[in-house]
Amino acid sequence: MTRRVAVVAGGHAKFGKRYDATMRELCAEAYKPIYDEGITQDKIDASVLSYAASQFTGQGAGSALIADYLGLADKPHLRVESACTTGTASLRAAWGMVASGLYDVMLVLGVEQMNRVSSARATELMAQAGDMRWEYPFGISFPAFYALMASRYMHEYNLPHEVLSMIAVKSHHYGAQNPKAHLPREVSLEEANNAVPICRPLNLYDCSLITDGAAAVVIAAEDRVKEFTDEPMWIKGIGAGASEMMIQDRSSLTSIPGAKRAAKAAYKMAGLEPKDIDMAEVHDCFTIAELIAYEDLGFAEPGKGREIVENKENYHDGRIPVNVDGGLKSKGHPLGATGVSMTYEILNQMRGTAQNPSRQIDDVQYGLAHNVGQSGQFVNIFIFERGW
């Protein structure tokens, strides 16, 4: 029989081009708020490091390095890697260990330092997550994968690019209010819609950022929660899914099949439906990915996600607020930190501590994190419940 598990604390480093800090210093920056709350090293049984790609820094054995630097060298630790879903994969692994009784209290810490290489090199390294025989040699990078999805979606549903630009405007509106964001600035619809092309039909403001950063959460078993907080966030539902490696093998490019399967599993475990969700953090690596997520998660019917955008239902005071921290588009996307950062944001929204009242969502009871790796080969979805 599994035990209930809650998120009891979180911390977050500033996202951006962090030339001022090393990987270990970013992790310390994320852990410090947790330490300051009194969750010191002696209270942590084990840790999981979410660290997706050592190629950016050349640093192997990341969990040993970080555990040593944070004063956890005598505690069990491991590294998890699952492309862009590494953060939620790490949280899922830690949840399993705590739920099973192996440990009571665990630190999950996500980090990536992507700007130690050039943007061109970073794009190349990420492209190597595609099929190295039939995709990478032909120059297909991740902007190209999502451009294919965008092109197909725009064709099937007669979608103008302006709808994608409206998503970018929303992301930057909230990123401008988030002190942790990589690119905290507003953009106009005209600026977003007419930006320089990256891979048509996607332009500069359709694409997420190459970011350095770290985020951390602590989870605890139900009988230990009250030692740490009166405001726990329970892990209520978890779903994982996968899609075909090469997108040419998929039956549709207007949906991510692994996300639909993960959502179904998470809703079933939580005993909830899409209409019950009060807010969502979705994996907007590209604006088209956010639009598709609305439909894969059941917030809109296929082809109808644009109505959420056009009616501003995705704003903090709308029907289903999405990425009101700026998302990957404005807050940034340090691969290993992203899923942990999503969890941190939902915790703050539930506690009413979203750093800026103008992006605070009222009365969040259930929050959903949707984390996609590559072009959908990995998907993790978490549903969280406010515990007070």
What span, in angstroms and rounded, lies between the C-alpha atoms of 196 and 191? 10
Phi and psi at residue 49, in whole multiples of 5°?
A: -100, 125
* Catalytic residue of the set 27, 84, 199, 207: 84
Phi and psi at residue 292, in whole multiples of 5°?
A: -65, -35
* Catalytic residue of the set 173, 283, 316, 333: 333
Annotated active-site residue 333? The verdict is: yes
What span, in angstroms and rounded, lies between the C-alpha atoms of 22 and 180? 17
Distances (CA, A) of 189 to 162, 175, 207, 282, 298: 8, 15, 15, 21, 27
Tokens of 64: 């040993």
72, HSE (Cβ side, Cα atoms, 13 Å) = 30
Annotated active-site residue 285? The verdict is: no
Distances (CA, A) of 343 to 141, 215, 340: 28, 9, 5
* Catalytically annotated residues: 84, 333
